[in-house]
Structure 1
């Protein structure tokens, strides 16, 4: 019985491999119709689809261990390649039923031609379903990883943009802060302030708080750390944009800014420095 199943699977493998290019072209045409954005890279996707149809065909007659190794290798490599190519996981997963249906039709043709029993057909379909599930799993892993890294890179870029050190004159720079300050952003403020002051040879550095809605104990402590660090590298720190409400909060918290020059507006801080533009 096992020998008969093996012969059946080998016939199916040969039958699918003979039609792999045709099947890949059929799937490419259908996907291009569904997703117009895939048309520009269809020439790059077609060879990968031929490889996948080949893998589906060969997987039917492979040893289970060999099949698992081949599927994992192909899924991890191709998932990463497709993600870097600019495809979306949604569009790629929509191909899964196309492979299942087209290869399923070929299996049905062979089953009818050679009069397969229900048990034999069930064994073949089980192998196909397992192969589909494993391919989807390993294909998704690197795809999600690439997208996650891309999202993290975008978030880091946005954070860097939220700490813009602006040189306004020789030896003078301003850090206009807007929004809330959390732990990660506070760390970035420290790093960017020190790095940019050294790079730009800054003598006087104004931290403008006009766009910061609230100064609590955490924010004040982080500002003090930045101020102390700037002093250590020879930079004179100044603070501007402290509103009356913010000043009251600072006093209520028992915080002492008396050793740091502070100004109501950025304009007044720059005027004090001698910047008149």
Structure 2
């Protein structure tokens, strides 16, 4: 029996022992312990399965591609699990240090005990380290992809909530615009406003800008586009709540709102439509 095959068998025989050492030391060093809904025994079983792949690789009982595929699958599942738990990537990758340390401790003990050659050590390095590196890469890639997808969904949900067209009576709604308007939000603003105006069969939209702190040429241009597009749907837009500092900026930018109806606040806009706040209650 060659040395690598023998060492592979020893890793498989001691995989639970190694897994327990990894788990015990890892838990002791964790900055924050998450509730993973798994028992210690289940976690050790998962760790032991991962360690077993290295024993199989050394024994060469399973071809290299199969081992790589199994490790990638394990790493992807673990990356998804860690991401969903909200564990930071740097914290999650600390596991690699423990796997490397305790797998090599077992190997070094066997190498010394059986007086194995330096050549065997180099052969071990060419097998063990690339497998660990492959696991780290697959884990990190999966974690980052899931994290980015989560952020994308959260941003999309936030953007949709940032265009609240609120009906206040038949044919009339108010759109309170709050915060900064960037290019992405501006595009969604136009799309969502037109869709909701059509769905609600609006005749008037009260565009409340009291929550907008800064108006630049891009924001002003987008407002014009929304007003023009709504006009094509037969919806009249009334701008309300323009802040004094925003009004001053508009003048300095040379923005012309003379063709658009502007009111100081919601009450004035409703009075102009022969409505009062009391009549809406």
User: For the superposition of Structure 1 and Structure 2, which TM-score range results when normalised by the shorter chain?
Assistant: 0.7 to 0.9
Paired residue secondary structure (2:159): helix
- The whole-number CA distance in structure 2 between the counterparts of 1:82 and 1:216 is 42
- The whole-number CA distance in structure 2 between the counterparts of 1:37 and 1:248 is 52
- The whole-number CA distance in structure 2 between the counterparts of 1:88 and 1:29 is 20
CA RMSD of aligned residues (A): 2.6
Scaled by the length of structure 1, the TM-score of the pair is 0.85
**C-alpha contact (below 8 Å) 2:50/2:71 kept by paired residues:** no
* 2:208 match: 208
From 57, 60, 68, the counterpart of 1:59? 57
Cα offset, 1:26, TM superposition: 3.4
Q: Flag the 1:83–1:258 CA change in 2: closer, same or farther, 3 A.
A: same
Q: Flag the 1:215–1:39 CA change in 2: closer, same or farther, 3 A.
A: closer
- The whole-number CA distance in structure 1 between the counterparts of 2:144 and 2:187 is 28
Deviating more after overlay: 222-231 vs 30-39: 30-39
From 17, 22, 25, the counterpart of 2:20? 25
* 2:226 match: 226
Deviating more after overlay: 27-36 vs 103-112: 27-36
Scaled by the length of structure 2, the TM-score of the pair is 0.84
Alignment coverage as a number of residue pairs:
272
* 2:37 match: 40
Q: Flag the 1:256–1:55 CA change in 2: closer, same or farther, 3 A.
A: same
Q: Is 2:132 the partner of 1:137? A: no
Structure 2 unmatched runs, 5+: none
- The whole-number CA distance in structure 1 between the counterparts of 2:186 and 2:65 is 51
Cα offset, 1:141, TM superposition: 0.7
What whole-Å deviation, never above 9, does each CA across 1:187-211 have from its counterpart, x for those lacking one?
1111221122233333221111112
* 1:8 match: 3
* 2:79 match: 79
Q: Is 2:149 the partner of 1:154? A: no
* 1:106 match: 106
Cα offset, 1:227, TM superposition: 0.8
Q: Is 2:115 the partner of 1:115? A: yes
Cα offset, 1:49, TM superposition: 1.6
* 1:275 match: 276
- The whole-number CA distance in structure 2 between the counterparts of 1:51 and 1:256 is 69
What whole-Å deviation, never above 9, does each CA across 1:152-183 have from its counterpart, x for those lacking one?
22222222333222222232211111222221
- The whole-number CA distance in structure 1 between the counterparts of 2:36 and 2:250 is 60
Q: Flag the 1:152–1:39 CA change in 2: closer, same or farther, 3 A.
A: closer
- The whole-number CA distance in structure 2 between the counterparts of 1:240 and 1:102 is 67
Q: Flag the 1:151–1:8 CA change in 2: closer, same or farther, 3 A.
A: same
**C-alpha contact (below 8 Å) 1:38/1:87 kept by paired residues:** no
